[in-house]
Amino acid sequence: MMLISHRGNLVGPNPERENSQSYIQEALDKGFDVEIDVWVIENKIYLGHDTPQYNIEEIWLQLHNKHLWIHCKNINAVNYFSSKLKLFNYFWHETDTITLTSLNYIWAYPGKQPIKNSIAVMPEINNDNINECIGICSDYIQNYKK
């Protein structure tokens, strides 16, 4: 089962640190994949959920590309990552039941499980059945580690 930290969170939301490079790195260093929110503005890459907050270099993303799930927050981010030839696992979604990531993973909106071979996002919100999932993305991902 893939365990994916939501924005770097391990044991609950931490809005002051979410999506910061240091917070994400801490989750990566503990062996988790991380879903990150990414904006591209004037060819500069930023992390941040509601707004672009933290400038980040592509080289850092490349170093961790096998463990990052990039949620594109604007169309420029989609265009940017789509030009990178499968180097990154990225996606766009809002309230869709599911979306496919660029590496063909099924990313499922909270409350839509069970969906076979999907990534369950925040399954604790709706007490989702995760028996068919191949991964979980959560603010409380440490709770799913066995």
Q: What does the DSSP assignment read for the chain?
A: -EEEEETT-SSS--TTTTT-HHHHHHHHHTT-EEEEEEEEETTEEEE-SSS--EEE-HHHHHHTGGGEEEEE-SHHHHHHHHTTTTSS-EE--SS-SEEE-TT--EEE-TT----TTEEEESTTTTT---TT-SEEEETTGGGG--
Along the 146 residues of the chain, how does pLDDT read in single tens digits?
999 999 999 999 999 999 999 999 999 999 999 999 999 999 999 999 999 999 999 999 999 999 999 999 999 999 999 998 789 999 999 888 999 999 999 999 999 999 999 999 999 999 999 999 999 999 999 999 97
Give the predicted TM-score (pTM) of the model. Answer: 0.96
